[in-house]
Amino acid sequence: MLRELITTCVFRDKTRRFPLGVGILGTGSHVPSRVVGNTEVGTLAGVDDEWIRRKTGIRERRYAAEDEATSDLAVAAARRALEDAGADVAELSLVVVATSTPDSPQPPTAAVVAHRLGAPARAAAFDLNAVCSGFVFALDLARRHVAEGGLALVIAAEVYSRVIDPADRRTAVLLGDGAGAAVLGPVPGDRGVLGARLSSYGELAGVVRVEAGGSRVPTSAATIAAGMHHFRMEGRAVVEFVRGRVPPEVERLLADAELAPADVDHVITHQANGHLIRALVEDLGLPAARLHTTVERYGNTGAASSAITLDQARRCSDAQAGAIALLVTFGGGMSVAVALLRL
C-alpha cells in the first residue's frame, strides 16, 4: 500500500550502483505570500469549500501580487537552489525556465531571470513550454548539456492567476502560482539522473489550451470579450489521458534502468488534482513508495508543481544516499515526462 507523506519522510539506503554522473546538486522553491482559500475562489465559481475539497483535495493556493510576474517567482526559487547547491552563478552554462505563463511573448523569461541573477553571457538562457510536464522536459535537456561540463539551472515557474476564468469551476479552483528550481551538475557515479522518457501527443492539443494571444488568433477586442485568453481544460479527457498514457511510460522507464516497482522509494508527481494523483500512483503499483504532495496547500502550479514538491521533499527528509525518486509529470500538448533520480 502506498504511504503518503506531505511534510515528513525517511530515505532508505540502497546498494546498487549506476554509471551516470549528472544529478541535482540543490533545489529551491518560492510561492507568493497571498493565500487564497476555497471560499474566495468558490464564490466566483459557484461552488463551496466542501465541493472543492471533495473534488480536488485542495484547501488553498497562492496568487502573485499585482506587481509580481513569473520572472520574480523564478528568481526567488533560483537563488534558493543556488544557495542549496553551494554554487556560484558564474559557474552556470545554461538557464532554462519551464513556463506556459511567461512575463511576455518576447523576450524569453529566462533571459530576464539570467540577467537578474547575474549569470555570465556564455550561459545560454531560454524558455521551454511543455505546460505541466515542463520541469522534467527541462531537467532531461539540462542533464544532457551538463554531461559536457558546467552547471545548469532549471526553473519552473507559473502565474496562472493571470489566465484563469474566475467563473470556470473546472479550472479556477485548481490553479495557483509558484516556482521551483534545481541546479544540475556532476555527482558521484552512483547518484544522479538515471534516465527519462518524454512523449507528446499533438492530436490531443486542444484538451488543455489558451485559445488566443498567438499568431493563429491574435489578441483583439473580440477575443478578449469572448474570454479566449483564459486557461481552458477538458477535465475528463485529462483523467483518461493520464491514467491511460502515464503507466506504460513509467513501466518502460523502470525497465530501461533495470529497476522494479518495489525499488522506488519516493514518488513526486505533477500536482494536478489530489484525487487524480492518488489514483495514478495506485495504478503504477509501487508497493514501497512514499507519495509527496503539495497540492493541498498550493493547488496546481503547472510546471512548477513537481519542482516545488521535489524541493520540499528534499528539505523535509533525511536524504540518505541511494534513495530512488520517480518524477511523474503530464500536461498540455498533451505530454508525458517521467524521470528517475538516485538521490
pLDDT by residue (tens digit) across 70-120?
999 999 999 999 999 999 999 999 999 999 999 999 999 999 999 999 999
- Helix-, strand-, coil-residue percentages of the chain, each rounded to 5: 35, 25, 35
Question: For position 288, what pLDDT does the model report?
Answer: 84
Question: What percentage of the chain carries pLDDT values higher than 90?
Answer: 86
Q: What's the pLDDT tens digit per position in 255-270? A: 999 999 999 999 999 9
Q: Could you give the CA distance from residue 162 to residue 289 in angstroms, rounded to a whole number? A: 35
Task: For residue 292, give the nearest of 273, 272, 271, 319 by alpha carbon.
Answer: 271
| Residue 300 designated active-site | yes
Residue where the block lists cell 483535495:
57
**Per-residue pLDDT band at 148 (split at 50, 70, 90):** confident
| Residue 132 designated active-site | yes
Write down the domain spans for the chain.
Answer: 3-20+192-342, 23-186
Q: Which numeric CATH code is attached to 23-186?
A: 3.40.47.10
Cβ atoms of 226 and 250 within 8 Å: the answer is no
Q: Given the residues 145, 270, 273, 292, select the one marked as catalytic.
A: 270
Q: What's the pLDDT tens digit per position in 174-230? A: 999 999 999 999 988 778 999 999 999 999 999 999 999 998 999 999 999 999 999
Q: Which CATH superfamily is domain 3-20+192-342 in?
A: Thiolase/Chalcone synthase (3.40.47.10)
Tell me the three state secondary structure of residue 169. Answer: coil
Question: For position 19, what pLDDT does the model report?
Answer: 41
Question: What percentage of the chain carries pLDDT values higher than 70?
Answer: 93
| Residue 273 designated active-site | no
Q: Given the residues 9, 132, 145, 292, select the one marked as catalytic.
A: 132
Q: Could you give the CA distance from residue 134 to residue 116 in angstroms, rounded to a whole number? A: 22
- Whether 23-186 and 3-20+192-342 are alike in CATH topology: the answer is yes
